[in-house]
Amino acid sequence: MLSKNSFQAVTTMFRQVSGIQLSDAKQALVAGRLQKLAQARGMRDVDAYVDLLMREGDAQEMVKVVDKLTTNETYFFREPQHFDHLRRLLSERRASAAAGDFRVWSAASSSGEEAYSIAMVLGEHFGLKGWQVVGTDLSTAMVDTARRGLYPIERARLTPTPLLKRWCLKGQGDNLGKLMVAPELRQLVRFECANLTRTLPEIGQFDLVFLRNVLIYFDNPGKADIVKRVLTRLKPAGLLFTGHAESIANLGIPTVGVAPAVYRHA
């Protein structure tokens, strides 16, 4: 079991690092994930593990904790309406952009499925030149997973069959039941760590930014801070995609909705 004091200590540290406040309802989830880290250190008692973590202040161990607490399952082509909108947008755009000119940022890319879903759509439209996708995430473990591009095949359950056949390889042997994103697509998708509540890395400007299913973890001031920071990386005519369960309309930021959960600078 994880005591209330240990839970508060860990969630306070997590909030300071990530900006995310975990509610009391997450205590069981936190306990389960910390139990795995405690066992890896040869400890059975989660409270003892937390006490050691707080006393030692081990930066590498804290990174492991943050990685565990930010790990969320995702899948390819989640919220498919956005990908339909992306296809319509590309069909209206003349395919005459200079190499590397059309850029999309998956700002909370988790294990990479969103970024690769975007890449598949861009690959169908542009081929293998004229675009780039950048994926960022707070978790170093998620970034490492994204760079590998290897996933359980069930995460592709919403992927259109033609895209699955064109851009993914079916696992064999030890990788049976998995898929790997084709290397020619992976080379056009770049992943790195970024904390959306802090100064952003130098990743350039983007035509589109996908900021989906991350704002739900923040209060309104936290949401506004992130959205303002992210918008600095959006080109003047660019679009911001948020999760369909999220809204930025009440944050006092000059944007206008152009489709469900799609916004442009006002």
Cα 243 from Cα 170, distance rounded (Å): 30
Residue 33 catalytic?
Answer: yes
Where are the alpha helices (H) located in the chain, listed in sequence order? 4-18, 27-40, 46-56, 59-69, 80-92, 113-126, 140-148, 161-167, 183-186, 220-231
Cα 102 from Cα 47, distance rounded (Å): 49
Euclidean distance between the first and the last CA atom of the chain, given in angstroms as a whole number: 50
Of residues 63, 59, 45, 76, the one with CA closest to residue 143: 63
Q: What are the C-alpha distances in Å from 217 to residues 30, 103, 239, 243, 260?
A: 15, 26, 22, 12, 20
Selecting among 47, 67, 103, 137, the annotated active-site residue is 137
- Asked if residues 68 and 37 have their Cβ atoms less than 8 Å apart, the reply is yes
Cα 142 from Cα 119, distance rounded (Å): 18
Residue 137 catalytic?
Answer: yes
Q: What are the C-alpha distances in Å from 29 to residues 161, 163, 193?
A: 35, 35, 24
Place of tokens 């590998």: 148
**Residues involved in catalysis:** 33, 137
